[in-house]
Amino acid sequence: MVYLQRMTVNSRKRILIAPVAAAALFLVGCGSSHDSQPTPTASSTVQVDAVHNDADIKFAQMMIPHHEQALDMADMVPTHSQNKELITLAKKIANAQGPEIEQMKAWLAVWGAPTSTADSNGHGDHGSSTEDSSMHGMMSATEMQELENSTGAKFDRMWIEMMIKHHEGAVIMAKDELANGENPQAKALAQEIITSQEAEITQMKKMLKN
């Protein structure tokens, strides 16, 4: 299977998106189709404070394609690896990051911001040479193709090494949000990303030693 790059498309006031509206918001923005991602339902609701700044918008816009590439990598695992620990980890990553993508898309819709920087500066490829310099840890198209072409132990090692780099990039982006963002939900997600992905980095480094 050839890997294809996708284009990704001041009072404190709490906004509650109506269930049907929230479901609609989940369906717009850059499209990424993954079996691991939950399908939005009419009962879906999103709460986000109106207060936000440019750092919050950039965090969401950058983290969406960053997460989407992690899902691309996770999707490869069941057909390329027989390592049970790796298969379990990939599923865990997909189950966490899929909903986070939809959450951030909904935030951007509420804030009236484009879903990705591709809408404003033309940078949309996952890991392309034109990717924003703040998109830490993204794999290039060549790296993703090399991973796709690998199997077995070679794939396992390559995937783990790449995902460690990918996670480290996400942690840098999340720490920047904690330092410069204003929105409480975005900052909470940033802290969650730091906590979970640093733990997964530790796990993956141990896996490389086995």
- The answer to whether residue 7 is domain-embedded is no
Rounded to an integer, what distance in angstroms lies between the CA atom of residue 152 and that of residue 192? Answer: 32
Please give the tally of structural domains in the chain: 1
Say which CATH number the domain at 187 has: 1.20.1260.10
- Is the pLDDT at 121 greater than 50? The verdict is no
Give the number of other CB atoms < 10 A from CB of residue 33.
8
- The answer to whether residue 5 is domain-embedded is no
- The answer to whether residue 49 is domain-embedded is yes
- Is the pLDDT at 25 greater than 70? The verdict is no
Which structural domain range is residue 190 located in?
14-209
- The answer to whether residue 184 is domain-embedded is yes
Q: Which pLDDT score, from 0 to 100, does residue 7 have? A: 36
Look at the alpha carbons of 101, 59, 54, 135 in this order and tell me if their dihedral is positive or negative: negative
Predicted model pTM? 0.74
The two structure tokens encoding residue 123: 């940078």
- Judged by average pLDDT, the poorest of 120-134, 138-152, 195-209 is 120-134
Instruction: Find, among 162, 204, 193, 161, the residue nearest to 60 by Cα.
Output: 193
- The answer to whether residue 9 is domain-embedded is no
Rounded to an integer, what distance in angstroms lies between the CA atom of residue 110 and that of residue 105? Answer: 9
3-state helix, strand, coil in the chain (%, to 5): 60, 5, 35
Q: What is the mean pLDDT of the chain?
A: 80
Higher pLDDT, 162 or 23: 162
pLDDT digit string, tens, across residues 134-178:
679 999 999 999 999 999 999 999 999 999 999 999 999 999 999
